[in-house]
Structure 1
Amino acid sequence: MAGRKRRAECEYGEAAEEAHHRIHHKQPCTVYEEVESSYNHGYEYVAEHRVKTEFTPLIRAIFKKYGDITIGNDVKSSNLLCIFLERICHVYQRLEPADCLDLTRVELQGMISEIRLFKRHKLDVEWILERVEYKLIEFMNKELGGYEAQVCSLQKKISSIKAELIVMKQEVAAAADIKAGVIALDEEQVGAGEEVRGEVRSAVRRSTRLRKQPGWHEAFCLLDSGDLW
């Protein structure tokens, strides 16, 4: 459904641009007439404008409220002018609360371009142009609010991740300090062991030298017998 809707908008936009080009260069304008002839609608006249029956009540209401909005126009084709009126009705209906829920920014921007085209041909459409522009601003504000909410959520996540990162860095630093302390303690213990072993080796060497002294054996035996006391 959305795809068909976008294709219809594109087809109409292309038709509007081609019609504008033909009018500007004073060429016969048949684009809208071809579009019109492909449908079999009933038609009625409103202030000498032959429009589709489905749009006549709304066109009469618009003329009653704003006057004949076609007065002073420079559209060369009466059929094209009638299609302009029908397109204005279409835009008006799309702006109704029940129908505007699925409006997109692209569609609103397309409406603005379309109405500005009508304005260039001197139709009195300022009143509906203001409504569409207001609706677009409203839509963009809502869109902006959604983006701001997303940014706020992302900022909270970033702050949370930063806080976790700080804690992790502190834990890593503390673990590194503990590891360094353990290594230093091991080195100290190794050094102390080496010192003890060095003292033992020195004592063994002194003992060896002592045993080599003359009379050492007799002195040891005397010491062992207790006669020294």
Structure 2
Amino acid sequence: MDSSHIMQAIFNKYGDITKACTLQSELFKTLCLEGICKVVQKLYDTHLADMKFDDVKGFYSILRDAESLNFDVKWLHQRLDEIVKVMTSKDELKKLEDELRESKVKAEEISNALELKTIEQAKLEHDIEKLEEQNVIENLKIEELNAQIDNIKSTCLSFKQVTPGLL
């Protein structure tokens, strides 16, 4: 789309954006309009993903000049504000997506570590049960051995001498 078509489209949609302009010279009005048309053309030609903040800064500079001459370019200023907001949101979205990806990796690592610890805990609990069973068995054995020892001691005490009660 060439400048004349863009200029005509602007006038059709927004009316005479130069009506409050402080410039007297039609030549300078036309030069300023061409600058505005170049901004519009660049916006049409550039995909948002390819838009650079430096380009947008340049567009704002052109608009500030046009606004200082009372060109009615609020509509274009609003569009640039929306573009900046989307570009900023895209940057924020990328940061959040990167952070989400990192958190997912970390959560997976934690989940794996937790699973290993749970397996270790189950093994420890099993080992503890076995040791408790062995402890019970050994304590029963100790009681049985103490009973046998006490029985033998008692028998031995009743026979202080070998001969008493023999004859």
In terms of fraction of residues, the more helix-rich structure is 2
Residues 1-229 of structure 1: matches in 2 within 5 Å?
A: 58=3, 60-65=4-9, 66=11, 69-74=17-22, 84-97=32-45, 101-105=49-53, 107-108=55-56, 111-112=59-60, 114-136=62-84, 139=87, 167=115, 170-215=118-163
Instruction: Kindly indicate whether structure 1 or structure 2 has the higher relative contact order, using CA contacts under 8 Å at least 6 residues apart.
Output: 2
**CA distance in structure 2 between the partners assigned to 1:193 and 1:80 by the alignment:** 112
**CA distance in structure 1 between the partners assigned to 2:126 and 2:48 by the alignment:** 66
**CA distance in structure 2 between the partners assigned to 1:134 and 1:209 by the alignment:** 107
| Aligned pairs, number | 162
**CA drift at 1:176:** 4.2
Which structure's CA Rg is the greater one? 1
**CA distance in structure 1 between the partners assigned to 2:42 and 2:6 by the alignment:** 15
For structure 2, the 5+ residue unaligned runs are none
**CA distance in structure 2 between the partners assigned to 1:84 and 1:216 by the alignment:** 140
Contact persistence 1:93–1:99 (CA under 8 A): no
**CA distance in structure 1 between the partners assigned to 2:47 and 2:110 by the alignment:** 46
The 3 A distance-change label for structure 1 pair 103 and 211 is: same
**CA drift at 1:103:** 0.2
Q: Normalization by structure 1: what TM-score?
A: 0.47
Kindly provide the CA deviation profile for residues 168-194 of structure 1, in whole angstroms up to 9, marking residues without a partner as x: 565455344323323322321221121
Contact persistence 2:32–2:66 (CA under 8 A): yes
The 3 A distance-change label for structure 1 pair 170 and 112 is: same
The 3 A distance-change label for structure 1 pair 111 and 150 is: same
**CA distance in structure 2 between the partners assigned to 1:163 and 1:215 by the alignment:** 79
**CA distance in structure 1 between the partners assigned to 2:125 and 2:28 by the alignment:** 84
**CA distance in structure 2 between the partners assigned to 1:141 and 1:198 by the alignment:** 82
Q: Name the SS of the counterpart of 2:39 in structure 1.
A: helix
**CA distance in structure 1 between the partners assigned to 2:65 and 2:164 by the alignment:** 129
- Identity across aligned pairs (percent)? 17
**CA distance in structure 2 between the partners assigned to 1:189 and 1:114 by the alignment:** 93
